[in-house]
A = this chain, B = another copy of it.
Amino acid sequence: MKRKRLESGGWRVGSVAEFLGLSEDEAVFVELKLALSSELRDRRQEQGLSQVELAKRLGSSQSRVAKMEASDPSVSVDLLIRGLLAAGATKNDIAGAIVRRRRKRSARGAARGNFL
C-alpha cells in the first residue's frame, strides 16, 4: 500500500504529532484533544446550534468556540469538556469520543446527516 511505498522511498510516515517530533504521550494527548474538538463540532451542529448560541450557554464567546472546534493551542481539555457538556454530551459520550477511532469524513458519513 501507499505507506510502504513512501517509506521505501525514504519517507517516515505517521501522524502529525510524530512529524512535529512530539513524545508518544504528547502525541496521544493531542489526538485526544482533536477527538474532543471534532466531537464538539459534530454535537453542536446536530443540535442545530450556532457558535454564538453555544458560547452563550457556556458563558463564553463565539471566537472561543471557533477556537475550540479548531483545536487551537490556547484551548484546554477542560474547556472542551465543558463545551461538550453544554452541547448536551454525557460522560459516556465524552469517553466514546476519546476512544472512537477517527476516520476521514466519508461521503456516506456526510449523507447520513452529519455536516448539518
- Mask of A34-52 contacts with B, CB within 8 angstroms, 1/0: 0000000000000000000
- With beta carbons under 8 angstroms apart, the residue of B25, B77, B92, B96 that contacts A86 is B25
Interface of A is mostly: helix
Tell me whether A32 is interfacial, beta carbon within 8 Å: yes
B98:A91 contact, CB within 8 angstroms? yes
Chain B residues whose C-beta falls within 8 Å of the C-beta of A77 in the assembled complex: 76-78, 81
Tell me whether A28 is interfacial, beta carbon within 8 Å: yes
Chain A interface residues toward B at CB < 8 A: 25, 28-29, 31-32, 76-78, 81-82, 85-86, 90-92, 94-96, 98-99
11 residue pairs A–B, Cβ–Cβ below 8 Å:
A28-B85, A28-B90, A32-B91, A32-B94, A77-B77, A77-B81, A78-B78, A91-B99, A95-B95, A95-B98, A95-B99
